[in-house]
Amino acid sequence: MKTENINDGNISTMNFDLGFANPVLLSHNVSGEKSASQYDMHYCVEMGIVCSGSMKRIFPGYERTLHRGDAWFCGIWEPHGFSVISAPSEVLVFLIYPPFLVKTIFEGSSGNDWLKPFKVTPKSRPVPDVRKKEHIMCICRKLLDYREELSRSHLAICTMELLALLAMDWDHGKVTEAGSFRHYEVTARAIDMLFREKHFIPTGEIASRCGVSRNHFSRIFSENMGIGFAKFALGFRLNNAACDIRSSLMTLDEIAEKNGFSDDSHLCHRFTAHFGVSPMQYKRNHDGLPYKP
């Protein structure tokens, strides 16, 4: 089956205010009609449950159709998408602070790696059987009934109950991880540097700062993200520039300098090739503040 192409031009970068004091965010999403594919990525890991309807979950090189009681997992900064294929559709999405899973240890389970379901390749992640699905739906119904009254600690406990249920009897000894955890950390570190610094960083430089060779870095980044670092970074800088063009009073020269382009001509060339319109036309097509040429 041919999978959809996840590329740098259609992925939204999302940020959530999570930490040890607030390790889990629960989102209840209801859709009354079918939808086109939408893509995003974020630092927190994601676990989701389909409560009704059906949807397609999309990952680089892999996609899967999910029905009532099915679950999905997304790793740190892993590009992913979805489309509703049978409505009405109702899902619960758990966004989890990764260090919380690393630090969570229950008596008698010190060897558990709670990040494991999020680190392996998408096709290797836990898939609940019929018996588990009924238990999963029971937990989800309780969460929906009491979600307005749930404290942060209660939500974290319910999240771990679901994760433990999904990981129970999962034969993770035979699955393939998306590279070693070291590779996973290198990819996350590179993306974090790019997002913090927001300017052009050569592939060789970022590989050196991550402590690996350029060739090795390029290979593991492409394997984990489904796209090369240079193309991913360019898409990120262009999306930032588009945001500045829509909503700021900066000149095009200022926007170019802020986002790592040599000058306004360089930005115009890259922007037009990427979005199909010039920065000025893009500004006209969107509501916002007056454009300063």
pLDDT, position 126: 93
Give the whole-angstrom CA distance, residue 79 versus residue 13. 9
Q: Indicate if the alpha-carbon torsion angle 61, 66, 70, 73 is positive or negative.
A: positive
Residues near 103 by beta carbon (within 8 Å), at least 6 away in sequence: 20
Provide the 3-class DSSP secondary structure of residue 19.
Answer: strand
Instruction: Tally the C-alpha atoms within 13 A of residue 138's C-alpha that lie toward its C-beta.
Output: 8
Please tell me whether the overall predicted TM-score, pTM, comes out greater than 0.75 for this model: no
Strand 45-59 vs strand 62-66: parallel, antiparallel, or unpaired? antiparallel
Instruction: Tally the C-alpha atoms within 13 A of residue 231's C-alpha that lie toward its C-beta.
Output: 15
User: Per-residue DSSP letters for 48-87?
Assistant: EEEEEEEEEEEETTEEEEE-TT-EEEE-TT--EEEEEEEE
pLDDT along the chain (293 residues), means of 10: 53 82 94 88 91 93 93 89 93 92 70 80 90 94 90 93 91 52 74 80 93 92 79 84 83 93 94 88 67 36
pLDDT, position 177: 47
pLDDT, position 16: 85
pLDDT, position 2: 46
pLDDT, position 197: 80
Give the whole-angstrom CA distance, residue 84 versus residue 28. 15
pLDDT, position 107: 62
